[in-house]
Structure 1
Amino acid sequence: MQLISLFTAYLLLTTSLPAPAQTVRAVAVPVGAAPKPVPAAPRRGTGPEYGTVRRVLDADTYEVLLPAGLVRVRLPGVDAPELSQPFGKQAADSVARLLIGRVLEVERLGQDSYGRTLTSLRVGMSAGPLAGPFRRRWLRLDSLVVVRGWAWAYEPGQAVPALAGLQELAQRQRRGLWRCGAAKVVRPGIWRAFNKQEKASAWRGCAW
């Protein structure tokens, strides 16, 4: 079981990203005019749905175009920084670079208190030149964003979140949020409670 976990972490860490020159702002992913998002489009059929990202709102919330229409989705199991806090835009941009132009496998899990559709997402990555043009590896997006340091492992009511091991790996390797060490990192819930002076002094001198 440990070997499987290590191999999965290796795949998540080594999956290639587009070149830095292709960076796009999370608040304006250039994929054409986006229709007005539907809080929860009607489900068509059973089994997984397939779609593409149309907008990345932050590193854990996206607008995804499905056969039933545009749906605003929230990725459970993770908690990404607010766009207004340090590293928030960089984390969202990293997710946008990963998802743009790729197919998503979507499984709806319900809705949260903000009307967003909670979804399990897997992103289709190239299986390599020898596998043929239509073969993909499907990687869990929640695992990707945590192991690359773009979000915290987050599972309310659980002392140890399911993705805690991947977060520890990101912390050891100082990836993303953890670039300047765990002591510098402020969770979004704490950040929202900060006053203006506390926000101004948070993470000062630490670069992504």
Structure 2
Amino acid sequence: MQALHQHQKADIEHQIGIPAVVVFPPEEVKFKLQTVPVDAKAVDGDGLTVYVDAADHREAFSVPSHVVEAVLERSKARTSKDYPKAYALHKNIIDAGYRMLKGSNNVDILARKYRIRLRGIDAPENRQPFGKEAKEELTHLVQGKCLIVHVYGEDQYGRLVGDVYCNGKFAQEIMLKKGLAWHYAAYDKRPELIEWAKKARAAGVGLWASSDPKEPWEWRKNNSRNRKLGKLN
């Protein structure tokens, strides 16, 4: 199994290449993830769903035994063309937080699912002005790319909160400079984020072109209150 993991890891590294820029994480970072290529459908305005190869050194020895067993049984089912059984086994794998994905040479790899919340920014919601543009920008940046995620912790929704890098580009920096996200100052007081948001606002780019942009956290609060009032009425 270990040899298989090593072979899978070599395959995926050959496919994705080595990141062009090495980014050293700050001391408060708890751990780092390197993802497989990101699916466009997995992107939100300030968050995304990513997968990490289970052959990765951090993942390899933490895969639950029932997932390993399901992977082996699924392989046997596919070999014998028992596709309903293979489908059911893959569903079990997905329910456990994993998924079988295509690696290099069209070989299946087991990957673990993570939900990521970009640290320090809050993008407009989809129904807000510039919500669509924010999602499109982040999608354009990460689609089909392998990411480096520096993880600081976990939020109340079970998402990992982190800094996202794509080919050496800092995702939060791009979103702030283009005026497609607010600096979430209540949770992140890094001076560079303050400066990027300040310059975008002064330049009137993105959402700052609006005469009265609404903070996403206030928009969510108001809409939640309105939904509750609607139910009461």
SS of the residue corresponding to residue 122 of structure 1 reads strand
Deviations 1:96-133 (A, max 9, x none): 11211222112222210011111221111xxxxxxxxx
SS of the residue corresponding to residue 96 of structure 1 reads helix
Which amino acid in structure 1 is aligned with residue 37 of structure 2?
T
Deviations 1:76-100 (A, max 9, x none): 1111111122211221112111211
Q: Paired residue for 1:60? A: 46
The 1:103/1:176 distance shift into structure 2, 3 A limit, reads: same
Which amino acid in structure 1 is aligned with residue 218 of structure 2?
I
Query: Following TM superposition, by how much is the alpha carbon of 1:48 offset from its aligned partner in structure 2, in angstroms?
Result: 4.7
TM, length-normalised to structure 1: 0.58
Distance 2:153 2:190 in 1: 23
Which amino acid in structure 1 is aligned with residue 137 of structure 2?
S
Max Rg structure: 2
Q: Paired residue for 2:214? A: 186
Q: Paired residue for 2:182? A: 152
Q: Paired residue for 2:75? A: none
Query: Following TM superposition, by how much is the alpha carbon of 1:161 offset from its aligned partner in structure 2, in angstroms?
Result: 5.8
Aligned residues: 137
Which amino acid in structure 2 is aligned with residue 94 of structure 1?
E
Query: Following TM superposition, by how much is the alpha carbon of 1:146 offset from its aligned partner in structure 2, in angstroms?
Result: 0.6
Structure 2 unaligned segments of length 5 or more: list them. Answer: 1-30, 55-111, 227-233
Structure with more relative contact order (C-alpha pairs < 8 Å, separation 6 or more)? 2
- Pick one of 127, 133, 140 that aligns with 1:84: 127
* Percent identical residues: 31
Query: Following TM superposition, by how much is the alpha carbon of 1:62 offset from its aligned partner in structure 2, in angstroms?
Result: 0.3
The 1:113/1:166 distance shift into structure 2, 3 A limit, reads: same
SS of the residue corresponding to residue 186 of structure 1 reads coil
- Residues 32-181 of structure 1 mapped to structure 2, 5 A cutoff: 48-54=33-39, 55-68=41-54, 69-124=112-167, 138-156=168-186, 162-181=192-211
Q: Paired residue for 1:13? A: none
Query: Following TM superposition, by how much is the alpha carbon of 1:141 offset from its aligned partner in structure 2, in angstroms?
Result: 1.1
SS of the residue corresponding to residue 38 of structure 2 reads strand
Whether the 8 Å CA contact 1:106–1:119 is kept in 2: the answer is yes
Structure 1 unaligned segments of length 5 or more: list them. Answer: 1-45, 125-137, 199-208
Structure with the higher helix share, 1 or 2: 2
Deviations 1:148-200 (A, max 9, x none): 1110111326678651110111122222111234xx1100121123369x9xx
TM, length-normalised to structure 2: 0.52
Whether the 8 Å CA contact 1:56–1:95 is kept in 2: the answer is no
The 1:73/1:63 distance shift into structure 2, 3 A limit, reads: same
Distance 2:189 2:32 in 1: 31
Whether the 8 Å CA contact 2:176–2:183 is kept in 1: the answer is yes
SS of the residue corresponding to residue 165 of structure 1 reads helix
Distance 1:189 1:165 in 2: 20
Whether the 8 Å CA contact 2:34–2:52 is kept in 1: the answer is yes
Whether the 8 Å CA contact 1:51–1:105 is kept in 2: the answer is no
SS of the residue corresponding to residue 163 of structure 2 reads strand
